[in-house]
Every structure is written in structure tokens, then in C-alpha cells.
Amino acid sequence: MTLQITFHHLQALVAVADMGSFEAAGDSLGIAQSAVSKHIRGFESRFPFPLFDRTERAARLTLEGSEVLAQARYVLHQRDVLLEQLGSPLKMKRSLRIGVTEIAAMTWLPRFVGAVKAQFPLVELKLEVGGVAWELYDRVRRGQLEMAMVSDSPQWSGLLRLPLGSMRCGWFRLRSFEPQLIRCSVEKLADYPLLIQDRDSAFGRWIIQWFEENNVRPEKTLTCNSFAALGGMATAGMGIGCLPLAVSNELVSMRLVKEVKITPALPVVRYVVVVREEAVTTFHREVATIARKNCDYNNRYQNASIAGPKNDFGK
């Protein structure tokens, strides 16, 4: 009896290729590793050549396997397009892997999750929170994530960037740290110890670029890629921290930190939804629209949920 090729075979192949191992593929698909192996063996038996190089420890595709993978992606993409065009959002059953940074989780992510579940009740959201922007960009590029919501970076080719929102930031110090310092130039700011994210993060590169555009090179910097930790370092008097308003507002209201007005002021940070161009569907665009309607990077979720979403993208 001729073995039928099913979507399960195609999904297993794509998951192993994207995730790098049979175990990780099983986790992403919500099935056991043994089930993934069974799907791959059954699928591979349809071809006169192996799909994976068994001499390598990692799940590495052969040249022929890469060609089959490209066709598998195309078939699965067309299946999704068909289901989205002809099916009802209330009956759409699928998973969606999304990566977001720390600041989204601190602000609008819970409201977004609720809105997606209301419009697509059978869609299972698989969220990965944390990591720096370039890691999330790369995971979308490699197919390990379907979407990511990150600060804008035009350097990645082959990725569609849909506008999302913007984040406002400022410089904040412990109230007893240089208490006479209320406002200063960016040149004077660089004389103090500064608390910023490092170059591994898009936010850190954005800060360094702002200094470079103003012909300033700060020498005394302490770096950390967690906004919450930077806020704690500022309240400990370790320096002047560059903090999003979602973090600083609470610290200011508790009278722990005070803003230092800098000339010129920091520009806003633009955020986007990132999807691979060849994989984007109507469903992805609808999810991006839901995110854009619900995002507010400038207020913690507890506060923002009272006032409702505010989006100043493009202002």
C-alpha cells in the first residue's frame, strides 16, 4: 500500500528543520519526540534519498532534504491561506509562536492575549518572552518563531516589518544622587556613570547611536539588558539610568527617582511586528492589527488597563 503524505509529515519536517532537533520539534508541535521520528521515517520512506544526514549529531538536512523542505513550507503556507480565506475565525484551530521582549510583557501583552483569544478562540498562543531583539529577529528568520514584536531594525532582509507602536524613555537618577542635577546637555550627561542596555540589544545600540549622533562617547557605563534591573540599579544610586516611562513612572510616583532633562531629548523607540515575507498570511496580518490596537509601551499593564490602550505611533 502506498503511504499517503499528510500534513503531519510536512509539519514534522519543517519543525525539525526550524528547531534543530527532534526533541525541540516535538515540544513545538506538542507531541512526543517518538511521534516526530515516526512522521519523519514515514515521510522519508517516500523518497529514494535520505532527508537528513545521519552522520551528524544535529538534525541536518541533506541537499535533497532542503529541496523537499522548501516544497513542504509552500504546501503548508497554501493550506493556511486556504483555511483563512474560507474558514471562520471562530473555528480556526492552529498554534502561533510569537516572541516578545521584556517591555511588552510588562505593559500590554496580557491585553493582547485576551484580544487574540476573543477573535480566534481556538488558536493556541505559544509565547516566548525575553531575549534581545536581534535574537528574536533571527528566530523569525530561521522559522523558529512565526512572529516577533521588537524594536525596529531595518538591517534584516527577507522580513516584513509591520508598524506596531512606540516607546518613550528618559534619564532618571536616585533623588539623593547629584540632587542639584535637574537638566543638562548630553555632553555633561556623559560625565556621569550611566545605566544602559548593551550593544547586544537593539535598545542599547539605539542609545549608543544617539550619543554618536551628538558626538559624545560616554566612558562610564554599567550595562544590563533588563529594564526592571536597570530601574533597580538607578534606585540603588549606581548612576543615571535610561528607562522607559513604563518603568520610571512607578519609581517617580514612589519618590525614589527623579528625571534629568537632557538636551537634546531622546527620540521615541519604534516597535514593529516582524514576519517572514514568504510566510505571511492574512491571519498574521490580523494578529498584527490586534497587537497594534492594544499595544501601549508607556504604561504598565495594571495602569494601562484602566485607561485603555494608547498608541502614539507616527506622532
pLDDT in tens, the chain (315 residues): 456 888 888 888 888 888 888 888 888 888 888 888 888 888 888 888 888 887 777 778 888 888 888 888 888 888 877 777 666 666 677 889 999 999 999 999 999 999 999 999 989 999 999 878 888 999 998 888 999 999 987 777 789 999 999 999 999 999 999 999 999 999 999 999 999 998 888 888 899 999 999 999 998 999 998 999 999 999 999 999 999 999 999 999 999 999 999 999 999 999 999 999 888 888 999 999 999 999 999 999 866 444 444 444 333
CB 284 within 8 A of CB 275: yes
Whether the domain at 90-162+276-307 and the domain at 169-263 fall into the same CATH topology: yes
End-to-end CA distance of the chain: 63
Domain range list for the chain = 7-86, 90-162+276-307, 169-263
CB 35 within 8 A of CB 8: no
Task: State the pLDDT at residue 3.
Answer: 64
pTM of the prediction?
0.74
Task: Quickly list DSSP for 292-306.
Answer: HHH--TTS-HHHHHH
Task: State the pLDDT at residue 90.
Answer: 66
Strand partners, 170: 243
Q: Which residue in this structure is represented by grid cell 474558514?
A: 87
Task: State the pLDDT at residue 45.
Answer: 85
The fold of the 90-162+276-307 domain, in CATH, is: D-Maltodextrin-Binding Protein; domain 2 (3.40.190)
Task: State the pLDDT at residue 46.
Answer: 86
Task: State the pLDDT at residue 1.
Answer: 42
How far is residue 169's CA from residue 187's CA, in Å, rounded to a whole number?
18
The fold of the 7-86 domain, in CATH, is: Arc Repressor Mutant, subunit A (1.10.10)
One of 3.40.190.10, 3.30.10.20, 2.40.50.140, 3.40.50.880 is the CATH number of 169-263, namely 3.40.190.10
Cβ-proximal residues to 231 (8 Å cutoff; 6+ apart), any chain = 241, 243, 247, 248, 251, 257
